[in-house]
């Protein structure tokens, strides 16, 4: 755990236009500049809609902010006749450090299979960005008790064909679908169970060192008031945060998890 820098990533989903994005990043920068807290312990990332990225880049570069940013999705293609798609090269050019792939909302509403998620992760890596690979079970699977096996199968499919070096540098987010946007956060023990299983699987496939280096996030109704319990767990290295990332104070509170 000591070598893994905690990561708090705020997924704005389809919220905030580019002017609102500037306001939120400004407020967040102000919150993070409060010297009473040691925000240097944590890597803070915002994940706005595509249309906000240029504005966020301008602010981050102009004010030399420590905040990093990424995109919510990426195309499986490099360029050409793919109307509406955004390539990894375009995102890298805008200074994106991260790309979320396989968010459950994309798996559900856009039919993204593990194969597609895998192709997207490879494109992000090829463009020198870090994929945040999302996995996690729905309510029925959880109730059937198959959540670990289900999530590991998604993990295997999503990371297929990647080298140990590639896997050690990426981020996996365990996001049980029943906890996303519902206010129903997984208990720290439930989150730890699956995050530990994810690390163990990566260690089994790619070796102990790779497993030890991999950052595993939990996502699902994380907010300032519940983050500490989650972060106290050995195999949880940060959070992917939806709703609570839309307010600077609240997201700042998440970043002060320690």
Q: Is 27 exposed, middle or buried (0-12, 13-18, 19+ CB in 10 A)?
A: middle
Q: Please give the helix or strand (H or E) that residue 147 lies within, else none.
A: helix 147-158
Q: How far is the CB of 112 from ligand PEP (least distance, A)?
A: 14
Which CB atom, from 13 or from 18, has the smaller least distance to ligand PEP? 13
User: Is 80 within any annotated ligand binding site?
Assistant: no
User: Which whole-number Å values give the CA distances from 7 to 1, 92, 254, in the listed order?
Assistant: 12, 20, 10
Indicate the residue whose CB is closest to ligand PEP.
Answer: 242
Q: How far is the CB of 145 from ligand PEP (least distance, A)?
A: 23
Is residue 110 flagged as an active site residue? Answer: no
- Helix pair angle (114-126, 147-158), 10° resolution: 50
Q: Given its phi and psi angles, is residue 151 left (phi above 0), alpha (psi -120 to 50 degrees) or beta?
A: alpha
- What does residue 171 show for φ and ψ, rounded to 5 degrees? -125, 135
Q: Is 13 annotated as a binding residue?
A: yes
Output the six-digit token pair for 79. 């360029």
Helix, strand, or coil (residue 11): strand
Q: Shortest distance, CB of residue 206 to ligand PEP, whole angstroms?
A: 25
On whether 70 is known to bind a ligand per the annotation, the reply is no
> What are the tokens at 15?
């919220």
Contact residues for ligand PEP (CB under 6 A)? 11, 13, 175, 180-181, 219-222, 240-244
Give the nearer residue to ligand PEP in terms of CB position, either 211 or 238. Answer: 238
> How near is the Cβ of 240 to ligand PEP at its closest, in Å?
5
Q: Which is nearer to ligand PEP, 11 or 87 (CB)?
A: 11
Cβ nearer to ligand PEP, comparing 102 with 211: 102
Tokens 């981020």 correspond to 171
How many other β-carbons are positioned within 10 Å of the β-carbon of residue 255?
26
181 is in an annotated binding site: yes
Instruction: Please state, in angstroms and rounded to a whole number, the distance separating the CA atoms of residues 229 and 209.
Output: 26
15 assigned binding-site residue = no
Minimum separation from the CB atom of position 207 to ligand PEP (A) = 29
Which listed residue (43, 105, 175, 250) is catalytic?
Answer: 175
- Cα separation, 221 vs 11, whole angstroms: 12
Q: Which is nearer to ligand PEP, 211 or 243 (CB)?
A: 243
Active site residue 18: no
178 is in an annotated binding site: no
Residue 23: count of CB within 10 angstroms of its CB: 11
Which listed residue (103, 112, 147, 206) is catalytic? 103
Q: Which residues are annotated as a binding site for substrate?
A: 11-13, 181, 221, 242-243
Q: Which residues are catalytic?
A: 103, 175
Q: Which residues are annotated as a binding site?
A: 11-13, 181, 221, 242-243
């Amino acid at each position: 755990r000591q070598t893994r820098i905690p990561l708090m990533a705020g997924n704005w989903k389809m919220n905030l236009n580019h002017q609102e994005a500037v306001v939120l990043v400004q407020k967040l920068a102000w919150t993070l500049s409060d010297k009473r807290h040691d925000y240097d312990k944590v890597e803070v990332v915002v994940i706005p809609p595509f249309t906000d990225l240029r504005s966020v880049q301008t602010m981050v570069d102009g004010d030399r902010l420590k905040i990093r940013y990424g995109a919510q999705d990426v195309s499986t293609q490099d360029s050409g006749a793919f109307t509406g798609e955004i390539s990894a090269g375009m995102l890298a050019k805008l200074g994106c450090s991260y790309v979320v792939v396989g968010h459950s909302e994309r798996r559900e509403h856009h039919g993204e299979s593990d194969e597609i998620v895998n192709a997207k992760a490879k494109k992000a890596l090829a463009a020198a960005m870090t994929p945040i690979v999302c996995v996690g079970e729905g309510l029925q699977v959880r109730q059937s008790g198959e959540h670990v096996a289900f999530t590991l199968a998604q993990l295997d499919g999503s990371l297929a064909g990647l080298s140990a070096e590639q896997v050690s540098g990426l981020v996996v987010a365990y996001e049980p679908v029943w906890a996303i946007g519902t206010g129903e956060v997984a208990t720290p023990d439930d989150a730890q169970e699956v995050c530990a299983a994810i690390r163990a699987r990566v260690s089994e496939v790619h070796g102990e060192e790779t497993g030890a280096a991999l950052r595993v996030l939990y996502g699902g109704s994380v907010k300032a008031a519940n983050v500490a319990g989650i972060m106290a767990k050995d195999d949880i290295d940060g959070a992917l945060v939806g709703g609570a990332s839309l307010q600077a104070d609240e997201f700042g509170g998440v970043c002060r998890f320690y």
